[in-house]
């Protein structure tokens, strides 16, 4: 009987670990699941949050601080994106800001994570982190490279960020794919 109990305990622990979200925001901290037992946490100070609403979305919000922008989108179970969510977000970004050129200078992918550094207008770099879960997408833009570098080091221990960081980025990053859905139709019911 003890053996069966141990097997049940191990199985239930594994199921609980697998079902934990990959990304959470609570108590002024962004928390990223790296594997079933390890997490990376990133503390936020002086930030603003906005709840976003759309009929296709169960939960959505944006977080904005001086160097970081996050949009969290949890769509309903019978909703799909009309294209790759990260591509839609990049297109919205390009539409909203004065961008003449935008090209990838670095791209790394790990299971649910995608790290991309873009050279914008041949003048400055921006770091994007895309996280996807079942029915959830997280879009992160970072002006400096603190979160980007440290989270990436959780996957590549000897990672080094090799791009110039210009803090004097003039435009305010404050966009929302959920807010723009009515105009662009990013979501649809899964038939």
In this prediction, residues 168-188 reach a mean pLDDT of: 87
pLDDT in tens, 47-89: 999 999 999 999 999 999 988 999 999 999 999 999 999 999 9
pTM comes to 0.87
pLDDT digits (tens, 9 = 90+) for 15-46: 333 445 789 898 999 999 998 888 999 999 99
Residue 117 — φ and ψ, nearest 5°? Answer: -110, 125
Which residues span the domain enclosing 124?
2-189
Domain count, the chain: 1
Task: Name which residue leads in pLDDT, 99 or 115.
Answer: 115
Mean pLDDT of the chain: 87
> What pLDDT score was predicted for residue 14?
43
């Amino acid at each position: 009987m003890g053996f069966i109990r141990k097997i049940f305990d191990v199985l239930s622990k594994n199921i609980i670990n697998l079902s934990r979200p990959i990304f959470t925001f609570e108590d002024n901290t962004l928390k990223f699941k790296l594997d079933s037992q390890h997490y990376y946490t990133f503390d936020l100070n002086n930030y603003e949050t906005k709840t976003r609403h759309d009929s296709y979305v169960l939960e959505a919000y944006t977080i904005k601080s001086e160097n970081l922008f996050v949009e969290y989108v949890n769509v309903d179970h019978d909703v799909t994106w009309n294209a790759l969510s990260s591509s839609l977000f990049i297109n919205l970004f390009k539409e909203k800001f004065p961008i003449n050129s935008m090209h990838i200078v670095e791209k790394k992918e790990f299971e649910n994570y995608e790290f991309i550094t873009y050279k914008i207008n041949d003048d400055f770099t921006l770091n994007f982190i895309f996280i996807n879960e079942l029915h959830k997408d997280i879009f992160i833009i970072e002006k400096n490279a603190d979160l980007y570098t440290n989270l990436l080091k959780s996957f590549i221990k000897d990672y080094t960020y090799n791009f110039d960081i210009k803090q004097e980025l003039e435009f305010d990053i404050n966009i929302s794919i959920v807010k723009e859905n009515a105009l662009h139709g990013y979501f649809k019911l899964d038939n």
